[in-house]
Structure 1
Amino acid sequence: MAQFPSMVQVTSHPESLRIQGPSVYEDQDERPWVPLVMETGSVLQVRLRQEDIPSAHIVLTSPLPSSMMPWVWVLYPGGRYLDSMCRFWRIVDHVLVDGVEEMHLELLPDPQDS
């Protein structure tokens, strides 16, 4: 019989996520997070997965290929992150799935565009 994945909500979010190489962010505890960028309609979303990557595999000189991706996210009150481009991202969910942390962020519309 197939087992369903174990999923638990996480309420303690990284204080910051900083770019460390192509497609790798690092939190304040030096844990690497790998982003997966998704566009659903007109909404930009990012799923970050905390994965142990040997530091030898992180190249520090190249930015992420997408110009829409920030260099840093900083936790902000209200379950949001503020990025290096002064945009807010809502934390859609943050879960532990079979022992692996995954956080789903969604870019909030710019209030000046309304």
Structure 2
Amino acid sequence: MAELPSNVHLTLHPMYLSICGPWVYEDENHRTWLHLIIETGSVLQVLLRQVDYPSEHIALTTSLKTSHTMPSMWTLHHDSQYLDSMGRLWRIMQHVEDDMEVMILELIDNS
């Protein structure tokens, strides 16, 4: 019997992700996403993990690192890109679900 792949590749991406607390974004379905900044050389990537994060644990203010380096919002621009609130384009490198939903965005040069 053939084994099923461990990761399911998703093509239905959140329409938007809006910051709602330190390190936490919320999508249009009120699901929360924690982010991790990944810098490898000149490439900036953000890993977003969809987690059930109780709203009472989300602070009303954002941390300095979040507010200065991360956009306040991402909006789905095309099927494979997001436009952030700073006018930059991000390519969806991966959007998979295994035990949890994970999306990796990469900043597009000169965007």
Is TM > 0.5 for Structure 1 vs Structure 2? Answer: yes
Cα distance in 2, alignment partners of residues 53 and 64 from structure 1:
20
Q: Which amino acid aligns with 2:77?
A: Y
Q: Deviations over 1:38-66 (max 9, x none)?
A: 00110110000000011110012224514
Find the counterpart in structure 2 of residue 65 from structure 1: 65
**Length-normalised TM-score, structure 1:** 0.87
Gap runs ≥5 in structure 1: none
Aligned-pair CA distance for 1:7: 0.9
Aligned residues: 106
**Length-normalised TM-score, structure 2:** 0.90
Cα distance in 2, alignment partners of residues 19 and 63 from structure 1:
11
Partner-residue secondary structure (3-state), 2:35: strand
Gap runs ≥5 in structure 2: none
Q: CA RMSD in A?
A: 1.4
